[in-house]
Structure 1
Amino acid sequence: MNPPDSDISLFKRLRFVLVETSRAGNIGSVARAMKTMGFSDLVLVAPRCEDPLNDAEAVAFASGATDVLQGARIVGSIAEALEGCNFAAAVSARLREFSPPVWTPRAFSAHVAGQGELRPALILGNERVGLPNEIVEQCNVLINIPANPAYSSLNLSQAAQVLAYECRMAAAGDEVDSRGVGFQGDAASLAQIEGMYAHLEEALVAIGFLNANNPKKLMPRLKRLFSRTQLETEEVNILRGIASQILKR
């Protein structure tokens, strides 16, 4: 495995290597799993199916990730597949008596995401027999995906999806968390929120829900409630609209 030449994102550094895959559909499914998480470097070692990059089942299972599928390289040996890599991880549900250190997907992803000089490869074996010992012994670590001990069998693309997800989370870090899920509008300013509180207080007094002479802790409790929601400008406007309708009655 050759040394790297530059420090770039894990999305560009990480390689998925499939060894002697039997079904073309599984290759397409792995391409899809990779693309959904932002990875694209796929290498096939001596696949056992004919024309796996153009096979109808592979294309169908890739489901929109045909660019990753078509961009895959086919090689004849694991040595060729690992050219340019300097950290290799065998993926296996079967632990070996003599194997490299056993890591979880999360430990692997944290390690390779934090070291830009690494050019890592994830190596997944044949659907039925997995990886031979001689390949496992060449690797730096063996990745074992924690699963139900009574039924720990994952198919090839499921394992690839778990690995790709963990690597994405490690690579993107806080960027993923801070982006949130779904649509997000502009955050309301402190002045807008204070104006909303005053408007709500006026409306609550008008309907007799709040006693202006004996307010107790209602408004502080409402403020604490809303402070947990990260109010957006449009949401403040909605609440003020409700208060306006109350005051018109």
Structure 2
Amino acid sequence: MNKLKIDNSVFNRLRFVLVETSSAGNIGSVARAIKTMGFGELVLVNPRFPDALQAPEAVAFASGAQDVLSAARIVASMEEALQGCNFAAAVSARLREFSPPLIAPRALATQLVQDTDLHAALIFGNERFGLPNELVQKCNVLINIPANPDYSSLNLAQAVQVLAYECRVAALGDAPPVSDIGFHGQAAGLADIEGMYEHLEQALIAIEFLKPDSPKKLMPRLKRLFARTQLETEEVNILRGIARQILTPKQKSK
């Protein structure tokens, strides 16, 4: 991936804006939420307490995302918060009679990823009062998270996490997650696997689990079973070791 493509990624074009946040813990939790999804730009508009970014609760709830927290900006107005953006999306659980077009989180995420000219801000309101109507009306779209209609109240950091997650999934597409967890051995060769089947068949005959004179349905079934596992070389060797141990004459106890 070249530098231009990296710089134009949605991860570098998306800003999270919190308006008049009341809880220091929520600010820290939001920093953590966006960092876990690969984002890092956080702007606070008039938080309702001083030293919002240094508050002990904010630092504690950031839990490893202190870099996002320390890089966050505090501004006095939405105009400052949206400098450099050409698209704004208000996030609200409350629908408005007069509002910009309503859009679902997944559809918005797809739009933000596909339109690389968009430098967007996702705007989240105060925990208790949400966003004022006049601010919502200035945005390009209104995002409503399709939660349980009988209880649609999401915590601020939870709402941020949902939007950040949808944007990450849209950006990554269907690519499988890269993981170094677990052992990944070398795939066994077809000749090695066939030799293992022959060895295993001899062992099963030796213990009279497989009768060579009867219809041989057992081995085809075992082959189908092992074919689904994508055997590795070490696994083939283990199975051959088991077969070898079965076939080795045991010294009778004295």
* TM-score bin (small chain): 0.7 to 0.9
The residue aligned with 1:210 is: 210
Aligned to 1:40: 40
Matches within 5 A, 1:31-70: 31-70=31-70
Q: Which residue of structure 2 lines up, in the alignment, with residue 189 of structure 1?
A: 188
Q: Which residue of 2 aligns with 1:85?
A: 85
RMSD: 2.2
Q: Superposed, which structure 2 residues align to 1:218-229 within 5 Å? A: 218-229=218-229
Greater C-alpha Rg: 2
- Number of residue pairs matched by the alignment: 243
Unaligned runs of at least 5 residues, structure 1? 1-5
Deviation by residue 1:74-110 (Cα, 9 ceiling, x = unmatched):
1111122112222221111111112222222222212
Give the deviation of 1:206 after TM superposition.
Answer: 2.5
Give the corresponding residue for 1:12.
12
C-alpha displacement of 1:10: 1.6
**What residue number does 1:179 align with?**
178
Structure 1 residues 33 and 226: CA distance shift in structure 2, 3 A: same
Q: Report the more deviating stretch, 136-145 or 185-194.
A: 185-194
- Answer yes or no: is the 8 Å Cα contact 2:90–2:123 preserved in 1: yes
Q: Which residue of 2 aligns with 1:132?
A: 132
Change in 2 beyond 3 A, CA 1:55/1:188: same
**Matched position secondary structure for 1:179:** coil
One-letter amino acid of the structure 2 residue matched with residue 240 of structure 1: R
The match for 1:3 is none
Give percent identity, aligned residues only.
Answer: 69
TM-score, length of structure 2 as denominator length: 0.86
Distance 1:238 1:140, change over 3 A: farther
Q: What's the offset of the Cα at 1:187?
A: 4.5
Q: For 2:189 and 2:215, locate their aligned partners in 1 and report how far apart those are by CA, in whole Å.
A: 23
Q: Distance in 2 between matches of 1:185 and 1:127?
A: 46
Residue-by-residue CA offset, 1:180-236 (whole Å, 9 max, x unaligned): 684250341342433433333333233222233445332332232233333334433
For structure 2, list consecutive stretches of 5 or more residues without a partner in the other structure.
1-5, 250-254
